[in-house]
């Protein structure tokens, strides 16, 4: 498989998250929430992975002591170069990874915030890759 542009790949993950909620989310407009926590979690994981793809493309986060980087490793790498991106990643971690991905928060406003943060992070990283 050929290696893809990280920004295009991240956007593909965001599209997968949107499609997951659209096809399976069982949105209740009167409550402004999704009916199935499972698909909110899946969408949150897609969004967070999209963020990691573009952040890794810029910062190449590695660790010597663990097999995989921890969020702290990402935050340290980002903090040395772009504090605004760090703020977005902090918010994104809380929203996409924790609230959506683990907690499965079904409120549409939380999900909308996750999508918005993912877009902002990808856009900011895309500008850094140019």
| Domain count within the chain | 1
- Model-level pTM greater than 0.85? yes
pLDDT bucket at 62, cuts 50 / 70 / 90: confident
Give Cβ neighbours of residue 53 (< 8 Å, ≥ 6 apart): 6, 9, 10, 13
Q: Who wins on pLDDT, 25 or 97?
A: 97
| 28 in any annotated domain | yes
Query: Where residue 87 sits, what CATH number does that domain have?
Result: 1.20.120.330
Domain span at 99: 6-129
pLDDT at 1: 43
Question: Which of 106, 94, 96 lies closest to 25, judged by CA?
Answer: 106
**Phi, psi of 85, deg, nearest 5:** -65, -40
Query: Quick check: 57 and 130 in contact, CB under 8 A?
Result: no
| 110 in any annotated domain | yes
| 91 in any annotated domain | yes
Cα–Cα dist 72/39, whole Å: 27
| 90 in any annotated domain | yes
Q: Which has the minimum average pLDDT: 2-6, 33-37, 40-44?
A: 2-6
Task: Over range 98-116, report the average pLDDT.
Answer: 98
| 39 in any annotated domain | yes
In the structure encoding, which two tokens stand for residue 125, read together?
A: 């990283």
Whether residue 98 has pLDDT greater than 50:
yes
Whether residue 80 has pLDDT greater than 70:
yes
| 1 in any annotated domain | no
pLDDT tens-digit series, residues 44-60 = 999 999 999 999 999 99
């Amino acid at each position: 498989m050929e290696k893809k542009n990280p920004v295009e790949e991240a956007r593909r993950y965001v599209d997968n998250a949107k499609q997951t909620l659209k096809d399976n989310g069982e949105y209740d407009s009167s409550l402004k929430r999704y009916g199935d926590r499972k698909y909110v979690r899946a969408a949150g994981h897609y969004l967070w992975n999209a963020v990691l793809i573009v952040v890794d493309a810029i910062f190449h986060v590695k660790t010597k002591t663990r097999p995989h980087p921890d969020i702290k490793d990402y935050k340290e790498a980002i903090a040395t170069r772009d504090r605004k991106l760090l703020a977005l990643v902090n918010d994104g971690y809380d929203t996409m990874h924790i609230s959506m991905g683990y907690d499965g928060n079904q409120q549409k406003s939380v999900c909308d915030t996750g999508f918005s943060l993912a877009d902002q992070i990808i856009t900011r990283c895309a500008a850094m890759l140019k």
